[in-house]
Amino acid sequence: MNSAPLIFAHLGDLHITKAKEQNYHDLLSIIVQIETELKGQLDFVMLPGDNADNGLPEQYLLISTALKMLSVPVYILGGDHDMEQGSLENMYQMPMAQKLPLAVTCKGNRCLFIDVCGFGTGGPDFRLGPDQIDWLQKELVAASDAGETIIVFMHTFPADLADPDEQRSLNELLEKYDVVLVDMGHTHYNEISNNGQTIFTATRSTGQIEEGPVGYSIITVHGAAVSWRFKQLADPFPFVMVTWPVDHRLLNRDNQAVAGVYEASAVVLGSAKISDVSYQSNVNGWQQMTHNEEHRLWAARISVEDKPLNMLSVKATDVNGRPGIWAIQPATDAYFQPQSVRDGSDADTIGSWLENGVPGTQLGPNRNTKPIA
Residue 151 backbone phi and psi in degrees, to 5: -130, 135
pLDDT of 130: 92
- C-alpha closest to that of 189 among 367, 8, 373, 9: 367
The pairing of strands 109-113 and 149-153 is: parallel
**Residue 214 and residue 261 share a domain:** no
Share of the chain above pLDDT 90, in %: 88
pTM: 0.95
Q: How confident is the model at residue 212 (pLDDT cuts 50, 70, 90)?
A: confident
**Residue 258 and residue 230 share a domain:** no
**Residue 263 and residue 313 share a domain:** yes
**Mean pLDDT along residues 182-209:** 94
**Residue 271 and residue 135 share a domain:** no
Find the CATH number of the domain harbouring 145: 3.60.21.10
Sign of CA dihedral 188, 190, 193, 194: positive
pLDDT of 124: 66
pLDDT of 365: 60
**Exposed, middle or buried, 250 (CB in 10 Å: 0-12/13-18/19+)?**
buried
Q: Is residue 43 part of a domain?
A: yes
**Mean pLDDT along residues 213-217:** 95
Residue 76 CA from chain centroid, whole number: 14
Cα separation, 268 vs 227, in Å, equals: 13
Cα separation, 96 vs 89, in Å, equals: 13
pLDDT of 123: 55
**Residue 167 and residue 65 share a domain:** yes
- 234-290 tens-digit pLDDT: 999 999 999 999 999 999 999 999 999 999 999 999 999 999 999 999 767 899 999
Find the CATH number of the domain harbouring 290: 2.60.40.760
**Residue 228 and residue 270 share a domain:** no
The answer, yes or no, to whether residue 370 has pLDDT greater than 70, is no
pLDDT of 207: 86
**Residue 262 and residue 205 share a domain:** no
The answer to which of 208-212, 279-283, 299-303, 363-367 has the lowest mean pLDDT is 363-367
pLDDT of 1: 62
Q: Is residue 364 part of a domain?
A: no
H/E segment holding residue 23: helix 22-37
Q: How far is CA 237 from CA 135, 215, 287, in A?
A: 40, 14, 21
- 65-97 tens-digit pLDDT: 999 999 999 999 999 999 999 899 999 999 999
- C-alpha closest to that of 230 among 24, 6, 43, 30: 30
Instruction: Count up the domains in the chain and report the number.
Output: 2
pLDDT of 38: 98
Last residue of a domain, one of 202, 235, 268: 235
The answer, yes or no, to whether residue 120 has pLDDT greater than 70, is no
- 151-164 tens-digit pLDDT: 999 999 999 999 99
**Residue 262 and residue 128 share a domain:** no
Cα separation, 328 vs 310, in Å, equals: 8
pLDDT of 176: 98
Amino acid at the residue 255: N
Last residue of a domain, one of 294, 313, 328: 328
**Mean pLDDT along residues 315-335:** 97
**Per-chain mean pLDDT for the chain:** 93
**Residue 299 and residue 227 share a domain:** no
Q: How far is CA 372 from CA 202, 298, 359, in A?
A: 19, 39, 10
Across the beta sheet with 239-244, the strand order is: 239-244, 261-269, 297-303, 290-292
Beta bridge partners of 52: 16
- 40-59 tens-digit pLDDT: 999 999 999 999 999 999 99
CB 188 within 8 A of CB 124: no
Cα separation, 178 vs 329, in Å, equals: 24
CB 93 within 8 A of CB 60: yes
Q: Name the more confident of 367 and 36.
A: 36
62 C-beta neighbours (distance < 10 Å), count: 21
Share of the chain above pLDDT 70, in %: 95
Q: Is residue 133 part of a domain?
A: yes
**Residue 284 and residue 230 share a domain:** no
**Residue 34 and residue 103 share a domain:** yes
Q: How far apart are the first and last CA of the chain?
A: 42
Q: How confident is the model at residue 371 (pLDDT cuts 50, 70, 90)?
A: very low
Cα-based torsion angle of the residue sequence 49, 53, 57, 58 in order, rounded to the nearest 10 degrees: -130
Q: Is residue 271 part of a domain?
A: yes
- C-alpha closest to that of 229 among 196, 201, 208, 271: 201
Last residue of a domain, one of 173, 204, 235: 235
Scored b (16 or more CB within 10 A) or e, 221-234 reads bbbbbbbbbbbeee
Range of the domain at 185: 6-235
Contacts (Cβ under 8 Å, ≥6 apart) of 258: 245, 302, 304, 310, 330, 331, 332
Scored b (16 or more CB within 10 A) or e, 191-220 reads bbbbbbebbbbbbbbbbbbebbebbbbbbb
Amino acid at the residue 56: L
